[in-house]
Amino acid sequence: MTTVTEAGPAAPAGPAHPLDQRRPLGDRSFQILALACGLLVLVILVLIAVSTSQQASSWFTTEGWGIFKNNWNPAANTYGALAFIYGTAITAIIALIMAVPVSVGIALLLTEVVPYRWSRPIVYVVDLLAVVPSVVWGLWGILVFAPWLNTIYAHIGSAVTGIWVLGPLFGPPTSGASFFTCGIILAFMITPIVTSLSREVIATVPAIDKEGAYALGATRLEMIRGAVWPHSQGGVVGAVLLGMGRAMGETIAAALVIGSSPAITSHLFAPGYNMPAVIANEFGEAFGLQRAALMGIGVLLFVITIIVNVIARGVVERSARRKRGT
């Protein structure tokens, strides 16, 4: 078919260029599809912000800065949300105070103390904690845990009445379903995430630094203070912030055990309320301004958790980058 020449075989009929082929259509469409799915994340986030704000707009316009008043009263059609903001803050703080030492302790246990073979079962157990659905925590919380705590609270409450700082904090009124119970359950729920993130961060501390400390004759605690902590403090802070975000947004367990009574009080054993809980409990029968108010609380919650998460991820990313030396 072809004659052979010096330059190369002659061409049969067809496109002139031997290597000519446009980029296949399928390849291009696949790239566009993948990009679209990536953009979906941004689109959803924007839609969330827009749609919920729109639903809540009547609350913002009616109440104005009154949204920060403590006067949530559907009967009187006033919807100041301060009590819920307070409750969210308090329960998150309680949860963090309890969960962070435990989580960091377990993370250090797994990376520094326990031989690798034993670490797997321990990690399994901690992950089991995460698999328990929040509604089950709430069910157990309200039907079993809270009644049991109630008796304990009552004892503590009567014991500290009138004492200088403890009285206002732990004195009566006490109730099984309260800020403190909610805080404890939130602590159970955020422990897995803070533990696993802290563990990841601590595990990236270069072995050289640790060995250097040991080689100087340091005890384990001294090694942790000197070699591990400086490297991982950024990451651990980030992990803690993420846990805080999770604690603030956790709805169902809070809705069941917080006591459902909007109140700004220092008494931690008293019933209270927080942002996600009131939305969950009151939305079903709400309409008009109340519904807009609940949506608005949702908007506030969204904004707060986005901010917390952005800061947290930024902190983790920055400490990782500093470690990599970039």
Positions 247 through 276 that interact with another protein (CB under 8 A): 248-252, 255-256, 276
Q: For 4, which DSSP code?
A: -
Segment 22-81, which members bind another protein (CB under 8 A)? 22-24, 26-27, 30-31, 33-42, 44-45, 47-48, 51-52, 54-55
Distance in Å, CB of 231 to another protein, minimum: 18
Q: Which is nearer to another protein, 171 or 182 (CB)?
A: 182
Using rule CB under 8 A, residue 89 touches another protein: no
Distance in Å, CB of 143 to another protein, minimum: 6
> What's the longest Cα–Cα distance across the chain?
110
Using rule CB under 8 A, residue 115 touches another protein: no
Q: Which is nearer to another protein, 235 or 245 (CB)?
A: 245
Binder among 155, 313, 318, 322 for another protein (CB under 8 A): 313
Instruction: Tell me how far the alpha carbon of residue 104 is from its chain's centroid.
Output: 16
Using rule CB under 8 A, residue 163 touches another protein: no
CB atoms within 10 A of CB 323: 16
End-to-end CA distance of the chain: 61
Instruction: Tell me how far the alpha carbon of residue 9 is from its chain's centroid.
Output: 68
Distance from C-alpha of 200 to C-alpha of 204, rounded to nearest angstrom: 7
The site for another protein, by CB under 8 A, has a size of 108
Specify the residue for token string 């960091």.
104
Distance in Å, CB of 39 to another protein, minimum: 7
Which residues neighbour 118 within 8 Å (Cβ) at sequence distance 6 or greater? none
Buried b (16+ CB within 10 A) or exposed e, 285-297: ebeebbbbbbbbb
Binder among 279, 292, 293, 315 for another protein (CB under 8 A): 279
Q: Which is nearer to another protein, 162 or 217 (CB)?
A: 217
